[in-house]
Structure formats: C-alpha cells, structure tokens
Structure 1
C-alpha cells in the first residue's frame, strides 16, 4: 500500500500514523517547509504543496500511490486537487485503488436538533459548507468515472491530544455558552484515522458520518473537563449576548444530532464513542496536551 495524504495537518497526521506499518509507504503534503520537516521526523515522506502547483517530486510520488486521502478544504475556486488533476487523475495516479475525502457534517445544515443520517437531503448554510457539498459531488463523480471506490467521511467537531477542552481551560479561553436545546456532535481524531483505515482496507465507498454516539450541549463538555481537572468551570454565558466572531456564531446556527449508524453497520468500532470516556482517557493518560 502506498498512501498519499493531501493536507497532512491535525487529522491528516493521525491518518498517517494509522497507516504506518512495515508494508505501507505513507506520504503527505503540507504548506510550509517547517511543517514538512516535522512530518519527516514522524516518518512521513513530506512535500510542500500550496494548492496551486504540483512539483515534479510530488508528481513522481503520486504516480505510484494506491490510496489517496484529500483533506484540504475547497475554496471559491473549488477543490484544489480536482482543479489541478481531476480531468486526468487516472493518468497522473494510474495505480490508484481507493479515495477518501474528508468533509464535514456541516453539509446537512440546520435540522432544529433532529437526527440526521447519510440519506438526508443537504441544506448547507455557510459558504464553506456549500463548497464542501460541491467537492463531495465532484469526488464521487470521479470515482464513478474511474471505477474507484470513493469514501466521503463527514466529520463532526474534531478534538483530541493538543486540541480539547482541557487545553482551552488551561489557556483561559474556554467558555460555557448557553443556547437553549443546542447540541453538537464531536469526534476524536484517532477515530477519524481508524475509520479511514477501516474504509481503505475494506475498499468501501459511499458517504459515512464519522461522529460520536452522543450529541450534547457544548457547555457540558467544558464542565466535564473542569471536573476532571478539579477546577471551577468558567461561568455560564447567554449565547445571545456573548461576543463571538461571525464564524463562531455561525456554528451555533446549525443544530442537529448526527447518526453514525451506517459506519457501525459496516463493522467499524469507535475507540472513543462518547466525550466522557474520551476526556477521561485524555486526562488519565496525560496526553491531553499532545
């Protein structure tokens, strides 16, 4: 197996680790030489990619890739990899057997707290979610054309070592915003990596929600982390009067409970199915700082 990860950031690096074994070659892209050096230290063959041009070295690398994960967010001009390679992906990556595209549960839009699954129609609210829908459709179309399974992984709010409520409390940035009946799903980064490996190993294509079992109020996560740390949680604040960036406020404009049943039916077992056990593991293991 030769795994190529475009966008080897927080989730991409966890995916690279999940594919690290003696029989696999793992390569990834990042936007800066400094981050590329860090990837190299982690055992990932790294390439600088700015989303605009593909170097000769990167082009040679992807020519032998058997598996592709695309985690770079699209922009107004669309998915950067499709823009550069889409029309001749089969010629550029002739050995390709499976594609994974990392998307977001934001494509569902607002459902007033109701449950949603992969069969639901999409009503994206933000421009970034509209772009994700377009990219999903483009990748699935490419898979159909080439006869390659394409798995679209719709991710909930990502957290894990180095990116979690403990870190926010320690930095003094944690907030308990109260909006009536608001819930969010979330997902540990290791479960994103595990789901990607599972779908790739089993050559599964289609759309999969990658999310925990327990959507809940965001303020409850902060309170649980504070309890484990034995500190006072930050005070509750009404959402309506809180000072928030437009992007932060937009997240609260979508309220839904996202089901992961399809992925479970396929046979995947989540390592961290709810935030309580996940936070407990992060705290007791001491890995919460990353």
Structure 2
C-alpha cells in the first residue's frame, strides 16, 4: 500500500523494540510499516483468516486472531508480554467496554518489558463546540453513544494498572490513499452531488493524513517528557465542500455549489468544531520534524499522485 511510504521515510532507526498492535487495519497497518522501517519488530491482531494471511505473507507481521469476544491464543499472549510497545486501535463496545483491557489487562500489568502503551481514540469526544477550536484542555462533551463509549474507553486506559501510563491519541477524520474525497468521487463516477455532505460549506471538519498518524506514533516526542493526551489533526480544518471541490478540480470533474446542508450536519452527529493540533506539531518539532501533510490540499495531491487518479478512471 503506497500510503505507508511517506510515513516510513527514516533518518535512522529509533530502536530495535517490539511493537504489538491490537487492530492492524487501515491506520494500524500504516503505523506497523512505519515502525518496521524504523527497526521495530511488529506483531498484532486482525479479525479474519484472510487478513491474517495477508498481513503475515505480504508484510511479515506476526498476526493473531482477536475479535474482542475471546482472549488471544497462548501464542498471542506470549507476543504481548514480550513486547516493549503496545498500541490499541480497536474501538470499544457500545457501552464503552474496552475489549483489550477486558481480556488482557492482567497481561499488560505483568509485563516486565513494557515501555510504552498507547490508545487511539477520536476527537468526537469533544462533542459540539459550535465551530470553535478545541484543545487537549477542552473538557470532553460527547453527544453520541459512539463518542460517549470512546470517552469511557479512554478513561479505562488512563486508569489501567499497567506498569506504564497509557498515551491517548485523539484522531480527527482519517484520510489517505484508498480513503479520501478522491476515492469517494471516483466511486460516484465523478458526481460530487452524490457524495454525502459534499454541499456542506458551514461545518468545519478537522482531518489527519494516515501518514502523519504513523509519524506521530513512531517519531513523536522525546521519551523524557511524553504527553499523555494528544490531538492528531492537521493545521487546516475545512468544510466538506472545500475538500470535495478541490478533489473535483484534481480529477477534472464539475464541482457543485456550496450550501448549508442541514440534513448532513444533523446526520453527522459529531457537532461542529475545529481541532487544535499545536501539541502534535510541537512533538514533531522536538525531533526536527513537521507534518508531512499540513492541510487537505497537500494530502489530496499526494493521494492523486500515488494512485495516479485521472478523469480516465471515471470512464473505465
């Protein structure tokens, strides 16, 4: 997957540590490949045999089945306890039950090798800010069942009795190759009007390219003073209309007029807010780095280049 190349460019190896990722999906795989390119040995979980074979044969990731209903196999538990770094990308149950902690909290507590523990959450926990900015100091105010469950899971990780404190990363809207406004437009045959919320020009949405999620995890703040809560968002919140209109220009498609899409805003349920990613940028600056894609324009341009999107895609 081309998505990983930007996140994986290395200026040398951080460590020869061992990373275990609960949930090697779209984001988890980007983190896994970036970590391997920096000298980590990576293992993790998925939910199907086909994904397991793809991860093991295609990426060399030692993978175990885990869907949250039952504990890992004996071999999987051994992999957890041998790792120096553990990250969970798995969402909680509807009631906030955290499947990893439910089955494996005791293994994390007993691990003598554990140096770092992380959990990927969502900026949805902030709820509706009326379009204002939210920071890590903004009190959470989730408005949906999904967001409330996320906040419950966050707190479970923060209150866990593991040997090291858990770092919580609140992710804005994730995009990248295979998961972007460009991909959506292609799937809709270039019809911007058919893309959900593409007319909405009033709701600010914050985003983060998957490559920058991987970069934040693998090359973040110096270990001497790691933050326990970080928003992962780029520097330029924008409405869906702005983003889809730019994607349409890249594809050579016609853009639809902007409008106040009340139906989409209501269905979205996450409220209106701009997520401040200043702390993330400071973390990266501490290592002499910066966001690979500081805004949607640079991120979509990279997607277009990597996937060679053209108007011919729509005609074939």
| TM-score (normalizing by structure 1) | 0.89
Q: 1:5 to 1:287 in 2, by over 3 A?
A: farther
Q: 1:103 to 1:147 in 2, by over 3 A?
A: same
Residue 78 of structure 2 aligns to a residue in which SS?
Answer: helix
Q: Structure 1: 5+ residue runs without aligned partners?
A: none
Report what 2:237 is aligned to: 215
Q: Is the CA contact 2:20–2:42 (under 8 Å) kept in the aligned structure 1?
A: yes
Q: Is the CA contact 1:177–1:238 (under 8 Å) kept in the aligned structure 2?
A: no
Q: Structure 2: 5+ residue runs without aligned partners?
A: 1-16, 189-193, 311-316
C-alpha distance in 2 between matches for 1:270 and 1:253:
25
Report what 2:18 is aligned to: 2
Cα-to-partner distance string for 1:161-183 (whole Å, 9 max, x where unaligned): 11111111111152454446311
Cα-to-partner distance string for 1:182-217 (whole Å, 9 max, x where unaligned): 110011111111101124873624100001101111
Q: Give the number of aligned pairs.
A: 281
Which of 12, 24, 31 pairs up with 2:47? Answer: 31
Residue 181 of structure 1 aligns to a residue in which SS?
Answer: coil
Report what 2:250 is aligned to: 228
Give the ranges of 4+ consecutive aligned residues of structure 1 lying more than 4 Å apart after TM superposition. 234-238
Does 2:116 correspond to 1:110?
Answer: no
Q: Any residues of structure 2 matched to 1:29-68 within 5 Å, and which?
A: 29-40=45-56, 41-53=58-70, 54-68=72-86
Residue 43 of structure 2 aligns to a residue in which SS?
Answer: strand
| TM-score (normalizing by structure 2) | 0.82
Q: Displacement of 1:264 after TM fit?
A: 1.7
Cα-to-partner distance string for 1:79-125 (whole Å, 9 max, x where unaligned): 1011112245222x331110110000000000000011000111001
Q: 1:262 to 1:282 in 2, by over 3 A?
A: same
Q: Is the CA contact 1:184–1:215 (under 8 Å) kept in the aligned structure 2?
A: yes
Structure 1 vs Structure 2 CA RMSD: 2.2
C-alpha distance in 2 between matches for 1:146 and 1:166:
42
